[in-house]
Amino acid sequence: MHVLVVLTYYRPHTSGLTIYAERLARELARRGHQVTILTSHYSHQLPFTEELAGVRVVRAPVLFRISKGVIMPTFGFLAWKYVCEADVLSLHLPQFDAAGVALRGRLLRKPTVLTYHCDLKMPPGIFNRLVNQVINLMNDLAGRFTHRVVAYTEDFARYSPYLQKFSHKLTIIPPPIEMPEIGASGIAAFARMHNPYKRRPVIGMAARLAAEKGVEVLLEAFPRILEQYPGARILFAGQYQNVLAEEAYAQRLDFRIRQYEEQEQWKFLDVLDPVQMAAFYPNLDVLVVPSLNSTESFGLVQAEAMLSGVPCVASDLPGVRQPILQTGMGEIAPVGDADGLAEALLKVLDHREAYRRPREEIAARFSTQRTVDEYEKLFEAMRGKV
């Protein structure tokens, strides 16, 4: 089967959406399918075409950016070419160009599956509101043209205005979760490098430094944590410099973060590869996901942490609360409430062992193999029926 996967950003760009698409594509290729990624040439340092882990990656030239979006004049031509070659199409939203690809799939009778990862909420401003409306319109058209729509959880689908419109096309497929196993020596080496003074407890956050991630809520909750645990430290894994369209947000938080950095209470780790993430999680006492809105629909990092035996605290958002509700490995905090977040973190830190679950139990619920099994079933069921 030839699967065409279409999304705006692909690796090495790091986000939950790109990690999801990468895991899906690689596992499909490992199972013998031909996989092509059609995406944007968002960085001049990247080649226009290459093969990564058995997956062909095609990057369309970018003429200019509009906030987080990209304008690609040749994208339509490339879409026709690769849609014609493909057996099935896998589109990943939010994405401005998905509507055109879905229409091509409809016209050429190619089974088309749209995976809806989250809502899009642009930074404040009149222009960004206009951009948001245009992209929402294109996403809506993509939903109308596509044959099936995939969501991570019923919880998110139930509360998503977008997914409610396409409930008759909806299929629930859990996201692909994987975490390399790493030995004790690797975990200890990570600790020596990033927590040499053995400060405890360690609170982890794995995200981009972006407004929707709720970093300021963690900053406001942290003094209360320090009252009870003066040795507490935060390790932040993820891009924190030059995050697209988030420069003003980073500047707003800079003073408070630098104060904690000077006291060895906060450390930025930048983007970590999968092996480094496998060493990161076991060095934590708790992982926090204080997201503020529906741009977060699950939080893959929660399940990754749980595979490493680490409990989580997450915002009470549709979808985001599901890893904790399904496993019992953590506590749920009110959205945007620093006191509530601190209370949930302290509860977990005070009784950490009570939240542990066997790795096998988590792996049975969340895995890349399970996710791709479901996609294969969906693709096969659609072939010859559109």
C-beta neighbour count of 175 within 10 angstroms: 27
Rounded Cα–Cα distance for residues 341 and 217 (Å): 8
Task: Assess whether 165 and 106 both reside in one domain.
Answer: yes
- Number of structural domains in the chain: 2
Task: Assess whether 130 and 245 both reside in one domain.
Answer: no
Task: Assess whether 15 and 153 both reside in one domain.
Answer: yes
Query: Strand 69-71 vs strand 88-93: parallel, antiparallel, or unpaired?
Result: unpaired
Rounded Cα–Cα distance for residues 39 and 365 (Å): 30
Rounded Cα–Cα distance for residues 37 and 44 (Å): 18
Task: Assess whether 167 and 205 both reside in one domain.
Answer: no
- Largest separation between any pair of C-alpha atoms in the chain: 63
Query: Strand 69-71 vs strand 64-66: parallel, antiparallel, or unpaired?
Result: antiparallel
Task: Assess whether 149 and 14 both reside in one domain.
Answer: yes
Question: Two tokens at 253?
Answer: 């938080």
Task: Assess whether 28 and 151 both reside in one domain.
Answer: yes
Task: Assess whether 227 and 125 both reside in one domain.
Answer: no
pTM (2 d.p.): 0.89
Q: How many residues does the chain have?
A: 386
Task: Assess whether 134 and 259 both reside in one domain.
Answer: no
Rounded Cα–Cα distance for residues 231 and 349 (Å): 13
Full residue range of the structural domain in which residue 44 is found: 2-176+367-382
Task: Assess whether 157 and 85 both reside in one domain.
Answer: yes
Task: Assess whether 150 and 261 both reside in one domain.
Answer: no
Nearest to 40 by CA among 25, 16, 18: 18
- Predicted confidence pLDDT, tens digits, the chain (386 residues): 999 999 999 999 888 899 999 999 999 999 999 999 999 999 999 999 999 999 999 999 999 887 777 889 999 999 999 999 999 999 999 998 999 999 999 999 999 999 999 987 766 677 667 777 888 898 999 999 999 999 999 999 999 999 999 999 999 999 999 999 899 999 999 999 999 989 999 999 999 999 999 999 999 999 999 999 999 999 999 999 888 778 889 999 999 999 999 999 999 999 999 999 999 999 999 999 999 998 899 999 999 999 999 999 999 999 999 999 999 999 999 999 999 999 999 999 999 999 999 999 999 999 999 999 999 999 999 987 77
Question: CB of 56 within 8 A of CB of 49?
Answer: yes
Residue with tokens 């193999």: 369
Rounded Cα–Cα distance for residues 16 and 299 (Å): 7
Task: Assess whether 371 and 349 both reside in one domain.
Answer: no
Where residue 355 sits, what CATH number does that domain have? 3.40.50.2000
Task: Assess whether 145 and 219 both reside in one domain.
Answer: no
